[in-house]
Structure 1
């Protein structure tokens, strides 16, 4: 996978892209990053990339010319997904991460100032993505979030290939609780079933605890999920247990 990032602050990405999973994925040749300052594509001798909005109002608006030139130079006749990080975009979900992870080339546009010339939205980008209903200083942090979630899905990026499959949201559920040694710590014990060695029972327990955690913390996710017979039975068990415990 190739990932290009267009930003006015390329130095923000140096540590992130060289560290942990993102850095190791690049070292293994799984992904190639390139960070470009799109100010370099300005025709102004001062490197101007923004201007005041037509019709008046506060703030500055990113001009279309530098971004169009940058994308066209980077794409070189290919058809990458061109992603605008923007609070007006579609809310980011794990399903979108999985969709983007299947692409060969992604270009992220990280804006600043008041906004973008509308022609960028209409004629340049393929996707607008928002990581939440709040406003950041720029699109860099949001792009880092999306890039991290996409790269970790690449084959070979994680040391344990089952990790991405069982992560929260990958199955539509929140992930089950995890435990490690010691089996008892300050009087708190690991559930006996995890020590039993009975893999079928462990998997059933994990599914039940995923359902329990989702029901408690993000019940709306269950409404979007197509429940299997086993999941429906486990949910019924959980609700009975809650009633018995007065919850």
Structure 2
């Protein structure tokens, strides 16, 4: 069972996330054990202060190294047998991707540190194994980022999803965006499900799904195609998609 610890100043922010939907069920079924710690409890002063003014001046307050260090030592003492990957949520960190989530899902113990205020005492970075950013923007704290990373990671654990193939076929897991999906009715207000999907021919369905996955990636995220090794079949399909795109553009121009 994976173990996850979260260090935050606002533990109640995690109440709903950890008790609802897929993540909540994973906790209930003991597929993952998640503890949220208020690192203010580890402050070494009576006012439970965890931040202070930066040396040299400047705007804002910095999180102090002492409460974080003591919180991490407490976790280490409680779980001495596990190998820990300590993740600092920071805008300057490496971008969080599906591949990072897959790496995290292979670990036995993850610890997420949620920052606040202006930033961290630089010495906190010496206590972690990873610095990860949710994206190229700044949030008021690391809590929302940690929730996203935990959700993306836990759903990859064995037995968490009802259909084990779901995570494998997800957008980004294959290097491509996922193909379109349809369910009943087959015809809704003239919007029809592609005939190949209702025909029951699995080989043709697989070919259609691959083509539509490539089409969606080509149209929406073409840079992703440069990062994967295309098979000869995929190259052939992409050439077809490019021809279809050119033909459609020309037809649209003629009809204007």
Decide: shared fold, TM above 0.5.
yes
Aligned residues: CA RMSD: 0.8
Question: Hey, what does 1:202 align to over in structure 2?
Answer: 205
The alpha carbon displacement at 1:27 in A equals 1.0
Task: Give the one of 217, 222, 227 matched to 1:219.
Answer: 222
1:108-134 Cα offsets, whole Å, 9 max, x none, are 00010000000111x201001101100
The alpha carbon displacement at 1:243 in A equals 1.3
State the SS of the aligned residue for 2:72.
helix
State the SS of the aligned residue for 1:157.
coil
Q: Give the structure-2-normalised TM-score.
A: 0.95
Task: Give the one of 169, 176, 184 matched to 2:187.
Answer: 184
Please state if 1:120 is matched with 2:132: no
1:54-73 equivalent positions in 2, closer than 5 A? 54-73=55-74
Provide runs of 4+ in structure 1 moved above 3 Å.
none
Would you say how many aligned residue pairs link Structure 1 and Structure 2? 246
Task: Give the one of 224, 231, 250 matched to 1:228.
Answer: 231
Structure 1: state its 5+ residue gaps.
none
The alpha carbon displacement at 1:28 in A equals 1.0
Please state if 1:53 is matched with 2:33: no
Question: Hey, what does 1:33 align to over in structure 2?
Answer: 34
Distance 2:59 2:83 in 1: 35
Distance 2:246 2:144 in 1: 43
Distance 2:76 2:193 in 1: 52
Question: Hey, what does 1:8 align to over in structure 2?
Answer: 9
Q: Give the structure-1-normalised TM-score.
A: 0.98
Please state if 1:97 is matched with 2:81: no
Structure 2: state its 5+ residue gaps.
251-256
1:60-94 Cα offsets, whole Å, 9 max, x none, are 00000000000111022443000001100001110
Distance 1:75 1:174 in 2: 39
State the SS of the aligned residue for 2:238.
helix
Task: Give the one of 152, 162, 165 matched to 1:159.
Answer: 162
Distance 1:54 1:201 in 2: 66
Distance 1:191 1:106 in 2: 43
Distance 1:217 1:172 in 2: 13
The alpha carbon displacement at 1:105 in A equals 0.4
Native 8 Å contact 2:51 2:64 kept in 1: yes
1:18-67 Cα offsets, whole Å, 9 max, x none, are 01010000111100010000000001100000000000001000000000
Distance 1:5 1:85 in 2: 11
Native 8 Å contact 2:83 2:108 kept in 1: no
1:143-171 Cα offsets, whole Å, 9 max, x none, are 00000000000000001111101110000
State the SS of the aligned residue for 2:177.
coil
Question: Hey, what does 1:88 align to over in structure 2?
Answer: 92
